[in-house]
């Protein structure tokens, strides 16, 4: 499968409207092709590169990609004339990949064997801090996340109802990030930048 050319951002707008509409510019056609081929783990990992939390987003994203989907503009009407032109259920397919994938931990980045001597403090254990940690920990940064709650996830954990976003999904996907050698200091509010800097 030929990778999507992302060297020119206008590519998304001209060729793949759904990918352009996605804030993360996730390669939608690529992961849908993988799902169609039954390669759920591969589809999940394509999502994981740009989304960090495919299983969470597959349940909670507001789907800006779907109104942009070309299918709703080019698909023929139903034979009875009553059918609606609808987009591909892109967000739901993201959830399909997450729910049907195999154990992918061996395919994720590994903790850095050598640290680069630089420390990063992330205040709050929500998606922004976890994304920073996911990107920097494999590069050798010593990442510490400070959060007042007992478990990582931030507002994803505290503000989204459990029937919509089960804790098992949150624990799994935040665990992938924390498993990269990230230190999570639960129950610790970072009230002062001076205090954080004092830790070195």
Is the same domain home to 136 and 102?
no
Q: Is the pLDDT of residue 80 over 60?
A: no
- Say if 2 falls within a structural domain: no
Q: Which residue has the higher pLDDT, 66 or 13?
A: 66
Torsion of CA 28, 29, 31, 33, to 10 degrees: 160
Residue 43 buriedness (CB in 10 A; 0-12 / 13-18 / 19+) = buried
The domain boundary residue, chosen from 84, 106, 128? 106
Range of the domain at 130: 108-198
- Residue 170's contacts (CB-CB under 8 Å, 6 or more residues apart) are 56, 151, 153, 156, 157
- Indicate the pLDDT class of residue 10, thresholds 50, 70 and 90: low
Is the same domain home to 50 and 16?
yes
The domain boundary residue, chosen from 106, 121, 147? 106
4 forms beta bridges with: none
Give the CATH number for residue 187. Answer: 3.50.50.60
Question: For position 181, what pLDDT does the model report?
Answer: 94
- Say if 178 falls within a structural domain: yes
Domain count across the chain: 2
Is the same domain home to 67 and 18?
yes
Is the same domain home to 84 and 118?
no
> Residues 58, 60, 62, CA angle at the centre, nearest 5°?
100
Is the same domain home to 47 and 62?
yes
- Indicate the pLDDT class of residue 13, thresholds 50, 70 and 90: low
- Say if 99 falls within a structural domain: yes
Tell me how far apart the alpha carbons of residues 82 and 198 are, in angstroms, rounded to a whole number.
Answer: 67
Tell me how far apart the alpha carbons of residues 37 and 71 are, in angstroms, rounded to a whole number.
Answer: 20
Is the same domain home to 125 and 163?
yes
Tell me how far apart the alpha carbons of residues 165 and 25 are, in angstroms, rounded to a whole number.
Answer: 23
Give the CATH number for residue 39. Answer: 1.10.1060.10
Is the same domain home to 59 and 131?
no
Question: For position 81, what pLDDT does the model report?
Answer: 61
- Residue 96's contacts (CB-CB under 8 Å, 6 or more residues apart) are 35, 40, 58
Is the same domain home to 73 and 113?
no
The domain boundary residue, chosen from 77, 106, 135? 106
Mean predicted confidence (pLDDT) in 76-100? 81
């Amino acid at each position: 499968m030929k990778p999507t050319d992302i060297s020119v951002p206008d590519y998304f707008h001209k060729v793949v409207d759904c990918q352009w509409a996605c804030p993360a510019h996730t390669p939608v056609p690529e992961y849908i092709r993988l799902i169609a081929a039954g390669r759920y783990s591969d589809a999940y990992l394509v999502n994981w590169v740009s989304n960090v939390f495919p299983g969470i987003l597959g349940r909670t994203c507001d789907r800006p990609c779907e109104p942009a989907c070309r299918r709703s503009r080019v698909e023929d009407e139903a034979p009875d004339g009553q059918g609606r032109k609808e987009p591909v259920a892109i967000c739901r397919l993201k959830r399909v990949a997450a729910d049907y994938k195999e154990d992918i931990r061996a395919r994720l980045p590994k903790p850095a064997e050598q640290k680069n001597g630089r420390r990063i403090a992330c205040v709050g254990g929500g998606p922004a801090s976890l994304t920073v940690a996911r990107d920097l920990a494999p590069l050798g940064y010593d990442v510490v996340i400070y959060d007042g709650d007992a478990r990582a996830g931030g507002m994803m954990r505290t503000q989204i109802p459990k029937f919509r976003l089960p804790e098992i999904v949150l624990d799994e996907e935040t665990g992938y990030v924390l498993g990269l050698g990230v230190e999570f200091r639960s129950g610790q509010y970072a009230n002062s930048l001076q205090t954080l800097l004092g830790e070195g």
